[in-house]
Amino acid sequence: MENGRSIVEKFWGAVDSNDFAALGALYAEDAVQEWPQSGERVVGRANIIAINQSYPGLPVATVRRVTGSDDVWVSEVSLSYGRDRYECVSVFEVSGGMIVRETDYFAAPFEPPQWRSAWTERS
């Protein structure tokens, strides 16, 4: 059985290649995906894949980091939608080698305020 890191890495690879069959194979049939910022919950693999297939222009994902253990894994990803970019943190819960729950948080980048520059550095 695959570990969570491998599943998350395959997930982002499938998103980048628009491989919906591969993406669907990673979700449990009764998986749940949540987007707290919009208050939406998608229930079931079929609905999750239908949204991805219908999405007008999936982003290019650049994975910055995948970390976790056992059944909870987190990815930090930059999502490029052409001229727009969002930073995304996704929390994946894995059971039996499949994604059973996914929670995604999205944020647009912003310029840091000047007053903090004495204590920070740009990444």
pLDDT in tens, 8-56: 999 999 999 999 999 999 999 999 999 999 999 999 999 999 999 999 8
* Domain residue ranges of the chain, discontinuous segments joined by +: 4-109
Q: Which residues contact 14 (CB under 8 A, 6 or more apart)?
A: 20, 22, 23, 26
User: For the segment 67-101, what is each residue's pLDDT rounded down to a tens digit?
Assistant: 999 999 999 999 999 899 999 999 999 999 999 99
pLDDT at 1 over 80: no
**What is 4-109's CATH topology?**
Nuclear Transport Factor 2; Chain: A, (3.10.450)
Q: Which residues contact 42 (CB under 8 A, 6 or more apart)?
A: 32, 33, 34, 48, 51
pLDDT of the residue at 104: 97
